[in-house]
Amino acid sequence: MGPDREGVLRGYDIEQMATRAHVTPVASIYAHANHCLIQQMADVERPRKAVSFASTQARQGQANAYLDQHRGQITVDTLMALTRYHEGDDLSVCAHVQEGYDVESSCACIMAPESRELWALWGNPCQNTYEHFAIGSSMMMS
């Protein structure tokens, strides 16, 4: 999500499953991890291991709390810090392999469509550096 040409925050939360999809327009700060929030989508979501579900719920809660804490002050740097966020050794936004959970963050990407910029890294965000990419000119050709 981000500002449109008039500076209004605009975006969409999309939940896509094999048999159905749900699109929710959002006009404020919004975080979504890896579990369905819409009941009709959760009804067809595969069963998860307990630690996998705990991870996505922890990341959702941490991301929302972080974004609420930084409301009005969100920059590319604060978003990069969000991708690197840890709550001690607990399940966190920046996910690492843990006992019984062999999944970790493998990349991160922050996009700014209006300025045609993108910041990306491979691996755990807390252990790597973002690269900046700028695509073409942000000026309209006529």
Considering the complex, what minimum distance in angstroms separates the CB of residue 93 from Zn ion? 8
CB of 64 to Zn ion, least distance (A): 19
For Zn ion, the closer of residues 22 and 96 by Cβ is 96
Which lies closer to Zn ion via its Cβ, residue 11 or residue 61? 61
**What b/e readout covers 83-115, taking b as 16+ CB neighbours within 10 angstroms?**
bbbbeeeebbbbbeeeeebeeebeebebeeeee
End-to-end CA distance of the chain: give it in Å, rounded: 27
Q: List Cβ neighbours of 51 (8 Å cut-off, separation of 6 or more).
A: 91, 98, 100, 101
Provide the minimum distance between the beta carbon of 32 and Zn ion in the complex, in angstroms, as a whole number.
20
Given a contact cutoff of 8 angstroms between Cβ atoms, the answer to whether 59 and 40 are in contact is: no
62/124 with CB nearer Zn ion: 124
Shortest separation between residue 95's beta carbon and Zn ion, angstroms: 7
Query: Would you say 91 or 94 has its CB closer to Zn ion?
Result: 94
Interface with Zn ion (CB under 5 A): 94, 124, 126
